[in-house]
């Protein structure tokens, strides 16, 4: 989710122009539409079923991912 970060940058730039007078104009920052993709978390039952079905060498990695909520990058 990038929009909150862009909002902070815009606030800083507007303050730099209007209050601090550090810059003469605020650059335009183009934003893209937010995705309407819904993130769905596994239920405890679904997570347990997944762990039961996985091969041994994948189970520890999947358990770590589920236990920490780590979904930032692909774990392999």
- Looking at residue 55, its pLDDT comes to 94
Residue 76 parent element (H or E) = none
Count the domains in the chain. Answer: 1
- pTM score, two decimals? 0.46
CA 69, distance to chain mean position in Å, is 12
Is residue 53 assigned to a domain? yes
Does a structural domain hold residue 58?
yes
pLDDT value, residue 53: 96
Within 1-76, residue ranges assigned H as helices are: 3-18, 44-53, 56-68
Rounded to the nearest 10°, the torsion over CA 61, 67, 73, 76 is 0
Which pair of tokens denotes residue 38? 């819904």
Task: Give the pLDDT of residue 31.
Answer: 83
Q: Note down pLDDT in tens along the chain; length 76 residues.
A: 567 788 899 999 999 999 999 999 999 998 877 777 777 888 999 999 999 999 999 999 899 888 887 766 555 5
Distance from CA of residue 44 to its chain's centroid?
Answer: 22
Would residue 7 count as lying in a domain?
A: no
């Amino acid at each position: 989710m990038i929009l909150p970060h862009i909002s902070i940058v815009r606030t800083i730039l507007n303050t730099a122009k209007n209050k601090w007078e550090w810059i003469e104009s605020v650059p335009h920052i183009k934003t893209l539409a937010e995705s309407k993709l819904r993130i769905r978390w596994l239920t405890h039952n679904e997570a347990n079923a997944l762990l039961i079905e996985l091969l041994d060498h994948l189970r520890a990695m999947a358990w770590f991912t589920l236990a920490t909520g780590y979904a930032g990058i692909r774990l392999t």
